[in-house]
Each structure stands twice: as structure tokens, then as C-alpha cells.
Structure 1
Amino acid sequence: MDDAELATRLVTEAGALAAAMRRGGLGAETKTNVSDIVTAADRAAEAQVVEILRRVRPDDSIVGEEGADHAGTSARTWVIDPIDGTYNFHRGLDWWCSAVALVDGERLVLSAVHHPTSGTTFLGGPGLPSTRDGVRLPALTDRPLSESCATTYLHPPFYDGEVGAAFVRAVTGVATLRMMGSGTMDAMALAQGHSDVIFQHSVPDWDRLPGAAIIRGVGGESRVVSAAGVEWHVAGVPTAVAEVCSALLGE
């Protein structure tokens, strides 16, 4: 089984497990705030992914949102997010997914994302044209920020201060704005041409890399920029990405 096949298996099986557990009813625990939660499905799906990886890729490292941290002997690392959009998942909304990304040293290799509600699976990377259920996605159409649909999220405590000011500078230039609660699913919408740019600060690798790989596989860009004392992930069509980065920096 090659890496692309393995990544696809990991996310489809993790998503199926999570969806089945949700149908049976789930409680949730708060992590850092009322919207940052974890469920038994998050932990069970991550454990399943880890078990498979330890068996079929024993030399690779593993990093997961729910605490998986295995140091392998190769330069490769699997970054896993069993449920991206846990708040949506727990509240019965459909905008959530299971995602994995593979990096080799500093190089982003590929990612796979599965949306259980629709049964749709995405696969792609910088050197692997992105696909939806095996069908190649068309290249993104570049456009300026003023014509772009942006997706983002900003926790209410950050509306004030320098971070809030940087956020306002960026969103002021967009055509329209959406906040839907799953950064990776937002990236999948972008990869299909439904939106144009995504940006958010303090995004961990498991929330950033799966979407970045798929976006780069359709000709988009993904950057990390330091502004207002935090790191912002910005991805999407090249012109809009460049304009968001400049706005965040106050240029």
C-alpha cells in the first residue's frame, strides 16, 4: 500500500468510526474554552489511526491533536486530526472531517481528507494533483481580494488589541466572509473553487497541513506570516493570499 492509498484508508476509516459513534450519542469535555472540546470519538478515531500507522509504517513519527506523539526513526511524520470541527460534530452540524498529512522533514508530501456526511474523500499535495473521489480537481482561478470569498475564524477574546486590528485590516478588503468552524473543510471548499482565501492565527499543524496540501495540489499557495505577535496561516489563490498577508502586516 503506497502513502496515498494509506492516507485515504486512514481518513475514511476514522471518519466512519466517528460518524458511527456520533449516531450513538456523545458527551464532550472542554479543553481550553467552551468551543474547544473533545469527545470520545476524537480519541477513538485517533487511536485507530495510530494503531494502523504503527503497524504498517513503524519507522515513521506520528503527531495527533488528541495527544498522539510517537517518535519514529525515519524523517517522515504523519500529522493526524481525527475530527476537524469537533464543535460542529458534537452539535450535529455536518461541517467536519477526518484528516491526515504526511511530511518528510520540512517537506509537505500529501494529505487526505474525508467528509463522512457526503462520503467524499480528497487527496493531494504539492507534487500530487488534488482529487475528489479520484477525479482531478481543476486548477484554481486567481482573483484579487476584493473579488474573493474568505473563510476564517477569530475567537471573541481576540477582537480587541493588535490581533483584532490585523484581522480587521484583512477582512476589510474581502468581497464576502464566512465562518463555518472547520479549517480543513474550509480548505476543501476552497480547493473546489467555492471560496478563495482562508486565514487564521495560531493554527496547529494538524489544522493547517491537510488543507494546505490539497490547496497546493490545485495551484494555490499556503503561507505562514508573523503579524500582531502571532503566526497567521494564509492559503488560497495567489493574489488574494498576497493581499491578505500585506494587510495583516499593515503594509
Structure 2
Amino acid sequence: MMDRDLFAARELVADLAVRAGRLQLERRDTLRMGAPKAHVNDVVSDVDIASERLIVDAIRAAWPDDAVQAEEGHGRSGASGWTWVVDPLDGTRNYVSRTGPWSVCIALYHQEQAVIAVVHDPAAGETFSAVAGAGALLNGEPISGSAGPPLEQALIGVSFQPNPATKERAGKVVRELLPRCGDIRRVPAALNLVYQAAGRLDGGLALDTNLWDIAAGALIAREAGVVLGGHGTDFSTELTIGAAAPLWPSLSELIRAVA
């Protein structure tokens, strides 16, 4: 990885995320909805597509040999061993309905390892970022996860795809979790993870995501000291659990038993 300045690359893509977020704020009143994708609640707008094109075009110009995985179809193969994973607008339903936060997510993998991550919240003007091994930042300042209160006091983020099967699965998890934790918050997957990184949430779970939903947030959370896992020793798109270290045993045991 010595052939690339990861810190300079992080700054470049953080700027791209901010530019995409500015576009989203500017075009929110004039957006046009497209046809649903995988299911009726999987919505997409012309702003999602324009944001992705802005990001991917700039990545291609800077690193023409890199691969790109992008949610709205602007991906491509590459020959360099580096892969960019892009979600131009994580939380489209919140963005369109004006009912909650959303974010711009960009991660860089070298082979199978995430090495750069940026999650930008346009409405709040917050940019979370990380380079592997160098800690997590919020607007350039170091952040760290929660101290980890007992489960009965913990605030837990919940994220899931809104298709019928996953909603049923999430309902089972919430029925078991809610009476035993302090409270829950439903937030998009990337923000769930970076809110854990900033200590705003004590833990969280995400069900049936895609890699672009969690790739950036997961690296930022880990760099802030959040413990991540799933049904096995690592998190997955099927199940991602995060928690402060003292909370991890009780939260992960509960969720693994029902998810």
C-alpha cells in the first residue's frame, strides 16, 4: 500500500462527499423519483444517480485503474487491486420524505481490507472519516466510542432493509431487544455505525444490508474502538452488530439468539 498516500486520498474523497451532499441539499425541492428497485420500499431519485455520477467520475479521473462498486450502477472493474465502494445517498427514504438523516458513503478497499472511509451527513455538516490504523475523525477531530453502559441503560441503533422478509426479522429482534435495553433509534446503516464511533449510540445492529451501506461506517466504527461482529467472528451484510467493549457480551448474545 506504499504506492498510495491514503491520507491525501481520504481528503480528496471527503471533499467529493461534501460536494455530493451540497448537490443533495440544493436539489431536494426539485428531485424526481424513479421506479422502485428490489421492492416497493427500495426507492431511488435522480439525485441519487447524479450524486453517484459526481463521485465516480472524480474517482475514475484520479485513479483510472481502480475498480468501483456503486449502488446505482456506475461501477466498473479494475486492475490495480484497489476497489472503491460508494453509496451516494444512504437513507433515500429519509431524504425524500424529510423525516430523518441520510449520508454520503465512500470506502476504499485494498484487496479485501478496508483502508479509507468517509461518511458525510449533509444536513448536519458532519464528515466522519478514517484511515486504517490511524483512528477515526469527525470534522478533523478525533472521536471514540461509548464507554459502554449496562444493556438496560444503553441506546441502541437499529437498521434494516425495508423489504417484507427483513421487516419481519427486524420485528423479532426489536421485540426481544426493546424491553431489555435503555432505548432504540432507527437510523440508516452508515449513520448507525458512525454514531457508535462518536459515542452517540452505545451499540447497534444492521440486518440485510449491502456492502456499500456498511463498508465506510464499519471502518470508522472500528477505528473508534467499537467492537463489530455478526453470527461469526466478523460482521456481514446479513448481520452487523456493534457495541462498546463492555456492552458487547450482553448485546451480541441477545441479538445473535434472535437474528
Q: Over the residues paired in the alignment, what is the CA RMSD in angstroms?
A: 2.5
Q: CA deviation at 1:166?
A: 4.9
Q: Name the residue aligned to 1:48.
A: 54
CA distance in 1, matches of 2:91, 2:178: 22
Q: 1:5-59 CA distances to partner (integer Å, 9 max, x unpaired)?
A: 1221221111112222213343343223333100001111111111111110112
Q: Name the residue aligned to 2:157.
A: 151
Amino acid in structure 1 at the alignment position of 2:226: G
Q: 1:147-173 CA distances to partner (integer Å, 9 max, x unpaired)?
A: 211111354734787775455444443
Identity over aligned pairs, percent:
25
2:21 is equivalent to residue 21 of structure 1: no
Q: Name the residue aligned to 2:216.
A: 210
SS in 1 for 2:204: strand
Which consecutive residues of structure 2, in runs of 5 or more, have no partner in the other structure?
Answer: none
Q: Is the 8 A contact 2:31 2:46 kept in 1?
A: no
Matched pairs, number: 247
Distance 1:21 1:245, change over 3 A: same
CA distance in 1, matches of 2:110, 2:116: 10
Instruction: Return the TM-score normalized by structure 2.
Output: 0.85
More strand by share: 1
CA distance in 1, matches of 2:120, 2:168: 37
Q: Is the 8 A contact 1:94 1:117 kept in 2?
A: no
Q: CA deviation at 1:185?
A: 1.8
CA distance in 2, matches of 1:159, 1:38: 19
Q: Is the 8 A contact 1:98 1:115 kept in 2?
A: yes
Q: 1:79 aligns with which of 76, 85, 90?
A: 85
Q: Is the 8 A contact 2:145 2:202 kept in 1?
A: no
Amino acid in structure 2 at the alignment position of 1:4: R
Amino acid in structure 1 at the alignment position of 2:50: A
Q: Is the 8 A contact 1:83 1:96 kept in 2?
A: yes
Mean alpha-carbon deviation: is it higher for 148-157 or for 108-117?
Answer: 148-157
CA distance in 2, matches of 1:235, 1:162: 18
Q: Name the residue aligned to 2:242.
A: 235
Q: Is the 8 A contact 1:140 1:218 kept in 2?
A: no
Q: CA deviation at 1:209?
A: 1.2
Q: Name the residue aligned to 1:103.
A: 109
Q: Is the 8 A contact 1:60 1:77 kept in 2?
A: yes
Distance 1:82 1:139, change over 3 A: same
CA distance in 2, matches of 1:125, 1:35: 34
Q: Name the residue aligned to 1:113.
A: 119
SS in 2 for 1:66: coil
CA distance in 2, matches of 1:221, 1:149: 15
Amino acid in structure 2 at the alignment position of 1:173: R
Distance 1:243 1:76, change over 3 A: farther
Q: CA deviation at 1:224?
A: 3.0
Q: CA deviation at 1:187?
A: 2.2
CA distance in 1, matches of 2:129, 2:167: 38
Amino acid in structure 2 at the alignment position of 1:152: V
Mean alpha-carbon deviation: is it higher for 81-90 or for 122-131?
Answer: 122-131
Distance 1:145 1:76, change over 3 A: farther
Mean alpha-carbon deviation: is it higher for 208-217 or for 121-130?
Answer: 121-130
